[in-house]
Amino acid sequence: MKKLWILAGGVCLYAMACKNEQAPAPQVKTACDTAKIFTSYAVAVIQSNCTSKGCHPGGNSPAAANFSSADRIKAYIAAKPGIFAQRVTGPQADMPPAAFTALSQGAKDSLACWVNHGMPDQ
Residues within the interface to other proteins (CB under 8 A): 14, 17-27
- CB nearer other proteins, residue 3 or residue 122: 3
How many angstroms separate the CA atoms of 16 and 26, rounded? 29
Report in angstroms how near the CB of residue 35 gets to other proteins at its nearest: 22
Report in angstroms how near the CB of residue 33 gets to other proteins at its nearest: 14
- CB nearer other proteins, residue 24 or residue 91: 24
Measure Cα distances from 46 to 36, 70, 84, 92, 101 in Å: 17, 10, 12, 18, 12
Report in angstroms how near the CB of residue 6 gets to other proteins at its nearest: 12
Other beta carbons within 10 Å of 47? 18
Report in angstroms how near the CB of residue 20 gets to other proteins at its nearest: 4
- CB nearer other proteins, residue 28 or residue 98: 28
- CB nearer other proteins, residue 25 or residue 98: 25
